[in-house]
Amino acid sequence: MKFSRPIGFAILFMLMVLALVPAAAQDAEVPVLILPVNNAQFLPGARFDFRVEVHADALPENFAVTVNGTSAAEFFGAEPTTESWVFGAKEDGTGGTPSQSVIWRSVVAPAAGDYAVEVTAGATVQLVSWTVRQPGTGTAKNVILFVADGMTVAMLTAARAARGMEQGLPTNRLAIDSFTTIGLASTSSIDSLMADSANTASALNTGHIGSVNATGTYSDTSPDSLDDPRVETFAEMLKRLTGMSIGVVTTADFSDATPAAVWAHGRNRGDGNRAAYLVQALESGVVDVLMGGGARRMLPQTAEGSRRQDDRDLFAEYEAAGFTIVTSATEMSTAMGADALPAKLLGVFTPSDMNVWLDRNVYTENLGDFTDQPGLVDMTLAALNVLGQNEDGFYLQVEAASVDKQMHPLDQERALSDLIEFDKAIEAAVAWVQENAPDTMIVITADHGHGYDVYGTVKVDQFNEATDDASRRAAIDVYGGAGYPTYSDVDGDGFPDWSADVVFAGAVNNHPDYTEDFQVSPIPRSPGIANDSGVIIDNPEDDPNGIPISGNLDQGSSTGVHTLQDVPVFASGPGAECLAGLYHQREVFFCMAAALGLDPSAQ
Ligand SMILES: [Zn+2]
């Protein structure tokens, strides 16, 4: 998704204010941007940056910022830093809007209560409200947050059904099915009803709703995408205030949005910021266990395939900081079998995102040189065993990244297999917790959804023998005609064998022009490709025998995109009941903090 700046708010606020101010004063109206935004919520004692932008050539003489009527400088006990820049200029440097900013870095959220922040600039008086919430008093020792990127209820239903059904009932339920505290979380951004993984994973990890593509920050208009006002993450608070350890496990490149949201701060998801996020993890000391792909962002720019723009060798720097580094499943298992477990563990198993379960276990020719990657279950258990050494407890975020990464290219079998692998990691964690740490809160959710669902079944032989589209479509059965798919599970590993006579008629509700044959693809899918003019058209090599489906996205989109639906939340352990009901996903942060009894103002 494209990066967007919060100019929209400024204009919106200006219009709101215009409506309130007498006509004679309107000439002197100026757009004002206040970050954190209206309705932001905090824990008392949490740290954050407070920026005010005035979009004018100079700060008006009457410029003033107050909190509950007291000057902000007095309220926060510090003078702000003044900065200015021009944003939105054309490529030739002309045009653009000047911005005058004041910023207070790392101020401390006050005691619980409501706070009115008022900015006066010329004839503009702009008000936002912040709420500082009462901290909880829970007694959980550890928190594990499982995030299946892009997971929806429909995908869980499909994964469960693919494992077998008889007369309307599943024969092999998921581990997730045994969680009894269930909620629904909405995922919208402050600048859009749609969301990406950066701002949604940040909402889970900070309690603040951000702008699309922003991690642990409120997006400002400044030229530097790493200087935007920060909000403290859950992991940063735990590291600053408690002796807890922090772990991050993902099947993505670990500089990707969801893992990075545990510790990182930046406005966009470009290469420069992702390289910086891995430096932030190291220099802040927040992360003790980090596992996934991403070697190309660890290596200096001189190394082949590096995506860094500097000469830092992060492998050497992490090692110097005390991390045991493992780069294969074998090395990980050796490290975990040693008499003394590592105190800090860095697992880097692929240059970029890790391969998906279906390719690691069935279509292994797709792995290239990286044939010895651990799965999500083994990574989760390794992280738990390392983190579990800490008497003071831990926070671990585990991400199944490729539910999303495979739903984007409409690959239902790869996405659902990774969802089942996610479920197995949860099953393993539940058993680990029962044995080692029953006072652990487990939360399971998605950062956002995808528009996938099953609407019937397809008779594969009939579909493949058809010579025209009408006959192919006649092989799709719905309602009573659909019966059940015939996926088997010969080795009983809980993962369906996707090659079957009757398969899901499953589809994603947004896509480029493409063709669909509903059958497992031996290579990862790429349904749309660019033609010579850069327009995305059906990829003739992807499902060449499929039915043609007209695109409903702009012609620059080669894959599907995220959708609006609320995502499921499951929870167990101390404090779990906080997550029953329907809420914005920022509640996950407040519930995790409450479960631990985290009160940053007391510690
Ligand atoms: Zn996505």
Residues 11 and 30 placed together within one structural domain of the fold: yes
Taking only the tens place, the pLDDT of each residue in 472-518 is 999 999 999 999 999 999 999 999 999 999 999 999 999 999 999 99
Tokens 């003019």 belong to residue: 533
Say if 601 falls within a structural domain. Answer: no
CATH number, position 36: 2.60.40.10
- What are the two backbone dihedrals, phi and then psi, of residue 269, each rounded to the nearest 5 degrees? -115, 25
Residue 486: inside a domain: yes
Tell me, yes or no, whether 524 and 582 share the same domain: no
- The yes-or-no verdict on residue 35 having pLDDT over 90 is yes
pLDDT of 157-182, one tens digit each? 999 999 999 999 999 999 999 999 99
Distance from the alpha carbon of residue 147 to the mean position of ligand 1, in angstroms: 13
Distance (Å) from CA 5 to ligand 1 centroid: 20
Question: How close is the Cα of 135 to the center of ligand 1, in Å?
Answer: 32
* pLDDT for 188 beyond 80: yes
Same domain? For 299 and 160 the reply is yes
Neighbours of 429 (CB within 10 A): 23
CA of residue 196 to ligand 1 center, whole Å: 6
Ligand 1 center to 450 CA (angstroms) = 8
Q: Which of 113, 132, 151 is the last residue of a domain?
A: 132
Query: What is the 55 CA–ligand 1 centroid distance (Å)?
Result: 33
Residue 413's CATH number: 3.40.720.10
Question: Are 234 and 589 a contacting pair, CB within 8 Å?
Answer: yes
pLDDT confidence of residue 52? 98
CA distances from residue 286 to 131, 244, 246 in whole angstroms, order as listed: 27, 10, 7
- Radius of gyration for the alpha carbons in the chain, expressed in angstroms and rounded: 25
Residue 286 has pLDDT above 80, yes or no: yes
Based on the domain organization, do 440 and 578 belong to the same domain? yes
Q: How far is Cα 69 from Cα 171, in angstroms, rounded to an integer?
A: 63
- For 388-431, what is each residue's pLDDT tens digit? 999 999 999 999 999 999 999 999 999 999 999 999 999 999 99
- The answer on 69 and 169 residing in a single domain is no
Q: Are residues 118 and 233 in the same domain?
A: no
In a shared domain, residues 496 and 352: no
Per-residue pLDDT, 28:
82
What total number of domains does the chain contain?
Answer: 3
Domain end marker among 112, 132, 152: 132
Measure 184 CA to ligand 1 centroid, in angstroms: 19
The pLDDT score that the predictor gives to residue 19 is 46
For residue 282, how far is its CA from the centre of ligand 1 (angstroms)?
26
Give pLDDT, residue 27: 60
Q: pLDDT tens, 517-536? A: 999 999 999 999 999 999 99
Tens of pLDDT, residue by residue over 313-371, are 999 999 999 999 999 999 999 999 999 999 999 999 999 999 999 999 999 999 999 99
Sheet holding 97-108, edge to edge: 32-35, 47-54, 97-108, 81-87
Per the domain annotation, does 555 fall within a domain? no
Grade residue 603 by pLDDT with cuts at 50, 70 and 90: low
Q: Which of 22-31, 278-287, 380-389, 529-538 has the lowest mean pLDDT?
A: 22-31
Asked, for residue 137, whether it belongs to a domain, the answer is no
Q: How far is the CA of 98 from the centre of ligand 1 (A)?
A: 34
Contact 600, 241 (CB under 8 A): yes
458 located within any domain: no
Look up the pTM and report it.
0.94
Residue 166 Cα, ligand 1 centroid: separation in angstroms?
Answer: 34
If you measure from the C-alpha of residue 408 to the centroid of ligand 1, how many angstroms do you get, rounded to a whole number?
A: 6
Q: 197 is in which domain, residue-wise?
A: 142-451+562-596
Give the residue ranges of DSSP H helices in 131-218: 153-162, 197-206
Confidence band of 21 (pLDDT split at 50, 70, 90): very low
On whether the CB atoms of residues 132 and 109 are closer than 8 A, the answer is yes
Give the Å distance between the CA of 150 and the centre of ligand 1: 6
Does some domain include residue 368? Answer: yes
Instruction: Say if 556 falls within a structural domain.
Output: no
CA of 560 to the centre of ligand 1 (A): 9
Cis amide leading into 527 (omega within 30): no
Distance 356 CA to ligand 1 centre (A): 15
Is 237 inside a domain boundary?
A: yes
Tokens linked to 274: 């992702």
| Structural contact between residues 496 and 162, judged by C-beta atoms closer than 8 angstroms | yes
The values of phi and psi at residue 108, to 5°, are: -110, 130
Phi and psi angles of residue 489, each rounded to the nearest 5 degrees, phi first: -140, 75
Measured between alpha carbons, how far is 298 from 419 in angstroms, rounded to an integer?
28
Q: Are residues 482 and 397 in the same domain?
A: no
* Residue 252, token pair as written in the block: 């993505």
CA of 197 to the centre of ligand 1 (A): 6
pLDDT in tens, 197-234: 999 999 999 999 999 999 999 999 999 999 999 999 99
114-144: per-residue pLDDT in tens? 999 999 999 999 999 999 999 999 999 999 9
Confidence class of residue 4 from pLDDT cuts 50, 70 and 90? very low
In one letter, which amino acid is 447? D
Given a cut of 90, whether residue 23 has pLDDT beyond it is no
- Compute the distance from residue 563 Cα to the ligand 1 centre, in Å: 10
- For residue 451, how far is its CA from the centre of ligand 1 (angstroms)? 11
Query: What's the gap in Å between 570 CA and the centre of ligand 1?
Result: 21
Tens digit of pLDDT for each residue in 44-88?
999 999 999 999 999 999 999 999 999 999 999 999 999 999 999
| φ, ψ dihedrals at 419, nearest 5° | -70, -40
Cα–ligand 1 centroid distance for 185 (angstroms): 17
Cα gap 444→200, rounded to integer Å: 14
Does 421 share its domain with 570? yes
CB atoms under 10 Å from CB of 389, counted, come to 13
User: How many beta carbons lie within 10 A of that of residue 455, not counting itself?
Assistant: 12
Rounded Cα–Cα distance for residues 381 and 383 (Å): 5
Sign of CA pseudo-dihedral 58, 61, 62, 67: positive
Whether residues 406 and 279 fall in one domain: yes
pLDDT in tens, 240-262: 999 999 999 999 999 999 999 99
* Domain match, 230 and 150 both: yes
Going by C-beta distance under 8 Å and a sequence separation of 6 or more, which residues neighbour residue 12?
none
Same domain, 48 and 109: yes
How remote is the CA of residue 202 from the centroid of ligand 1, in Å? Answer: 14
